[in-house]
Amino acid sequence: MKRILVTGGCGFIGRHVAQEFADHGYSVCILDALLDQVHGGEAVNLPAGAELIKGDVRDREAVTKALKGVDGVVHLAAEVGVGQSMYEIARYVGANDLGTATLLEVLIKHPVERIVVASSMSVYGEGLYATPDGRRVGNARRKANDLKGGQWDPLSADGEPLSPLPTDEEKPIDLASIYALTKYAQERAVLIFGEAYGVNAVALRLFNVFGAGQALSNPYTGVLANFASRLANGKRPMIFEDGQQKRDFVHVRDVARAFRLALEQRQAKGHVINIGSGRAYAIRDVARLLAEAMGTPDRSPELLGKARSGDIRNCFADISKARELLGFEPGRQLENSLGDFVSWVRNTIAIDRGADMKRELEERGLVS
């Protein structure tokens, strides 16, 4: 039996990843700092037989202890949130980049066979687009003046309208937030380390992950959790811009399976791979789907008509590479997989901090 370390294994994604490995016969060790913003003092449910070491991934002693007897690592420990990263910069760079650096340094003396790191679709900035005549545009960016005037969709350099396309791994990186910068640094550090030390290293670029167990009281977590928290407290979901921005939503159990496959499939070595559903959803439609599932269809989303610094318009996944290298195929779709999420929301205390998040961003001039 192989032993796997999951850093951040008590978080939303981490718990499902740990359970996935446990269900497939692996021995699991978890290293997690149990931060209040993520866990809120809630009890942690671990897979049967899993070992928990409470500690920060920047703590060399804790990391050394956690790596004892380990054959592979899934590195999930990170601060998560585009908006918050734009003003808590040292916190994000410290946890994400210094944390990864500490883990890799310890791995030099405590080598493993494989490591898989969680990266993010945020490293793409805007997704892939096409011009009216079909030319591929991989460097689309929105201008501040256009956003202030309500021009939400990016235009070509010639002012032409652009059509969003599924984003593949060949799309150039364009870092639009501190969070994205840290995630790119994490994935590159792990892949460079793997090449230098002969470790099978893989980076998974996760799109919007949803499912039971998300931190409902953390306004910087996933958009679906934010909407659910608002609806559970009798409020309308808040959406920046006009709600037509498109994202890819992938179920957390599919994501957990992707991490296991990435650790097992040797042909994935050295690759960066998108993990999404391969589908595009307008955010306002997602809010309505959730409101209907929660039995509150009358609570239509509140469209703020403002943009957050670091936000992008459209990005959804081309998952051809995941299919080819991992044999990955999403098993769940957003529109027919909200039942377990809604059941979990109804049995969870959700403190709505959406207004606090909006105010914090506005006070720092990060909303226009």
Please tell me the distance from the alpha carbon of residue 341 to that of residue 351, in angstroms, as a whole number.
Answer: 16
Cα 51 to Cα 108, 233, 285: the distances in Å are 23, 36, 41
> 72 in helix, strand or coil?
strand
Which residue has tokens 């005037």? 149
Is the CB of residue 290 less than 8 Å from the CB of residue 235? Answer: no
Of the candidates 288, 275, 284, which has an alpha carbon nearest to the alpha carbon of residue 248?
275
Please tell me the distance from the alpha carbon of residue 12 to that of residue 32, in angstroms, as a whole number.
Answer: 12
Cβ atoms within 10 Å of 69's Cβ, excluding its own: 10
Active site residue 179: yes
State the pairing for strand pair 281-282/246-247: antiparallel
Cβ atoms within 10 Å of 314's Cβ, excluding its own: 24
Cβ atoms within 10 Å of 113's Cβ, excluding its own: 13
Provide the token pair at 366. 């990060």
Catalytic residue among 129, 179, 184, 281: 179
Q: Which residues are catalytic?
A: 179
